[in-house]
A and B are shown apart, each in its own frame.
Chain A
């Protein structure tokens, strides 16, 4: 079975969790042998943007020493053999170009979504 994780909710509790929970879930399931792909859409296309820096969070004397590094986590998915698709229209709507993004992503247009969905057994929209 091959499943497609569509990630649309973005930056939901990423500071607290030190990651995106669905990107993390994808890594964990891949480690368990899952056959997965990921589609970033909506605000989640920003996960692929280079040079994000969420460091520096502090409350009184407490410092967060391990901030989320989401673009690194996206790159790590691709190095594990997980195809990461990004929706071209959502990139364009946010003024994002290929040079802004981490390498190794597959761009897909809205017209291409039906074929992408048909290529997977289950579609999970988070």
Chain B
């Protein structure tokens, strides 16, 4: 049986701004599929990734209605990653920076997301095999 690693990710970019976030979420997906213990510290704009009021939309340019468009909502991605980690015997602990949430009015997050602080990031990193920071450029 493969070693069950603990990994921490720090994300900063807001949704729909950078392919770095997609790459980060894909890396988290791999870890979730392997049943790792995964920690995410969402800092600054990244606290909007699990924002529960995200809504799908149709896309007239694509010629598709809302169902056909199946627009990617990052809140659904985060929920799927939490489920995937649990299904494989791991877990995904997603912590939103509380002050970042407040200044953005982003307090409504999906289930499984908790509010935290930089102290949580330090604790998670300290208990991890390694930490990957994906900062805003």
Contact = CB atoms under 8 A, between A and B. Distances in A.
A49 B10 CA distance: 28
Interface in B120-134: 121-123, 125-126, 130-131, 133
B122 A32 contact: yes
Given A25-B43, A29-B121, A126 B135 contact: yes
B122 A34 contact: yes
Contact of A3 (B44, B125, B136, B137): B125
Contacts of B125: 1, 3, 122
A124 B10 CA distance: 9
A21 interface: yes
Interface residues of A, number: 18
Contacts, number: 42
B131 A122 contact: yes
A83 interface: no
Interface residues of B, number: 18
A125 interface: yes
B2 interface: no
A7 to B, nearest CB: 9
A36 to B, nearest CB: 9
Interface of A: 1, 3, 9, 12-13, 21-22, 25, 28-29, 31-34, 122, 124-126
29 contacts: A1-B126, A3-B131, A9-B136, A9-B137, A13-B44, A21-B43, A21-B44, A22-B135, A25-B43, A25-B118, A25-B121, A28-B117, A28-B118, A28-B119, A29-B118, A29-B119, A29-B121, A29-B122, A31-B119, A32-B122, A32-B123, A33-B119, A33-B122, A122-B125, A124-B10, A125-B133, A125-B135, A126-B12, A126-B135
